[in-house]
Chains A and B, each alone.
Chain A
């Protein structure tokens, strides 16, 4: 049986006046029902574009899938007609966006916005859909849902709006839920509540989640598998425990190192990854991370590494990931922190 969702060497490029932006340049993963995949990386590493590509929400032009495939239950989404894609979207595959402040329509009532996918995909009557919307609001923890469904988005707080967004995404019991930084715009206590809510939902509905975040803590909290992205490429992929405890790629090391820690022995000084992510129009030759990598060699600057499986189910795109001596130099090798 094919996996629920499968992305195969996806390349989404943007053809702009300044050149070709390789926003997603060779990303592959598979997602099984009930699993959570965490996608991490700096801003501009291609996480969001990957997510939008899965929904076919990238405006084309300027975007264009130059190669690769996205399959849902073995069927290529890219080869579907627009109508068929529309039938999947919001029904089988739903998405939660980053900014709940701007992602809800300001002139429609919350209840109507949540009811809309039901009216569209399930052919529910206005009344049925409204009832279901109230029920969904209750499920995501909105108090007095019957009254609050009549509210407009500006009458909701940020956390409530994100709950409403989640209710909207859940309306049709999607099999895949894509969450693009669902907690980034929220304050910390609300973040924890939203993550808890998503975990609950997954336990109840068994849907697969793709959780995109630049917050490693969030991903460590919720994900079964982790995909680390850099400059549009997947640089490390594996089970969450593996990636966090035995990271193989120097970029992942850097990400983990730059987390603030409680048990730091150097007075709590942060150690960020030096330099800036590269321009996606003009990528460095060889490994895209090489200019910022403390361990880069001449080979790194000329020869681009491919994502190869190092341990079972744990792959990395670094020439040296298979080298035990090299891994011992990792700041994580001794302790397996986090």
Chain B
């Protein structure tokens, strides 16, 4: 098991380096039009002496490979550079925002797991019933509706209209409104971020459970005298959950990366919104730094998922141990 983990960690290194190369290149003058010095200093007029100083400080007169080496060296030391606009270290900016993104992703994961699994189990156990139809229909809608549209729709309905109608309503904007407790702020963005994944989770759960219910070992369990409920819970669930857990884990990674749209719609002060704003301002250190942080987290999450997968399925544990 340890050897497996070590190998997985080693495999992460080339992936990570590859991503830094891509990120470094797309912000280089070769690809992005415009003078890097002007991006750094902004619109104000500067003297030639100051211009030369900026070039020198940022090694812009050196060849590209030198610049990359310098960038990578700083990166492994935890230095993502300074923001052009805010003139502060990118790491500070990102780590202020990261907890908000993580909290949102975890809330979304929770919503996805609880509602997605419950809906999937319900529709598998009551196959072809009204509930099954309802789940199938609503998952189809959730999968096909764009996240930003759903987010704005929820804002209009539960934020604006409910307030107009004098009903209990939900906050539509960031997480700082004094009128609401912190938890309430998470409801709509969390649901929005979870929407498509929740639908997929429900569908995977349904199909897996249906497949498992046709297996011979389920009949064996029934032959022992277990009730239908116990057969499903004690013998079906763990088998059906293996692919679902894999999906949930990989999806958490995707969700961390996919918060940009949700954070934009809800003005959520997270890494995604920070990246979005930085793209508009061409604040490249924040964009690349933000992407690197997200990539790193996705890689770590995937590693954890792979390891937990082996704990769920004894057959995988075995083959890996033998290798």
Question: Could you list which residues of chain A lie within 8 angstroms of chain B, going by C-beta atoms?
Answer: 55, 57, 82-83, 86-91, 94-95, 97, 99, 102-108, 116-117, 120-121, 152, 154-155, 165, 168
Contact = CB atoms under 8 A, between A and B. Distances in A.
B301 interface: no
B223 A95 contact: yes
A94 B217 contact: no
**Across the A-B interface, the 6 shortest Cβ-Cβ residue pairs:** A90-B225, A90-B224, A102-B216, A89-B225, A105-B217, A152-B314
B225 A117 contact: yes
30 contacts: A55-B223, A57-B222, A82-B227, A86-B225, A89-B222, A89-B223, A90-B224, A90-B225, A90-B226, A91-B225, A94-B224, A97-B219, A97-B223, A99-B216, A102-B217, A104-B217, A105-B221, A105-B235, A105-B239, A106-B217, A106-B313, A107-B312, A108-B238, A116-B224, A116-B226, A120-B226, A152-B314, A152-B318, A154-B314, A154-B318
A87 B313 CA distance: 31
B217 A86 contact: no
Interface residues of B, number: 21
B323 interface: no
A103 B314 contact: no
Contacts of B222: 57, 89
Contacts of A87: 225
A90 B220 CA distance: 9
Contacts of A88: 225
Contacts of A121: 225
A55 B221 CA distance: 12
Contacts of A120: 224-226
Contacts of B238: 107-108
Contacts of A152: 314-315, 318
Nearest to A101: B216
Contact of B217 (A83, A103, A154): A103
A55 B238 CA distance: 25
Given A102-B217, A104-B217, A106-B217, A155 B223 contact: no
B280 interface: no
Contact of A104 (B220, B225, B226, B313): B220
A32 B314 CA distance: 42
A97 B220 contact: yes
A94 B242 CA distance: 30
Contacts of A106: 217, 239, 313-315
Nearest to B219: A57
B215 interface: yes
Contacts of A89: 222-225
A304 to B, nearest CB: 33
Contacts of B314: 106-107, 152, 154
Contacts of A104: 217, 220
Contacts of B224: 89-90, 94, 116-117, 120, 168
Contacts of A57: 219, 222-223
Contacts of A91: 225
Contacts of B312: 107
Q: In this complex, which of B217, B224, B227, B235 has the most chain A Cβ atoms within 10 angstroms of its Cβ? A: B224
Given A97-B216, A97-B220, A107-B238, A86 B315 contact: no
Contacts of A94: 223-224
Contacts of B226: 86, 90, 116, 120
Contacts of A117: 224-225
B220 A154 contact: no
Interface string B209-239: 0000001110111111111000000010011
Interface in B231-281: 235, 238-239, 242
Given A87-B225, A103-B216, A152-B315, 17 more contacts: A57-B219, A57-B223, A86-B226, A89-B222, A90-B226, A94-B224, A97-B223, A102-B216, A102-B217, A103-B217, A105-B217, A105-B220, A116-B221, A117-B225, A120-B224, A120-B225, A121-B225
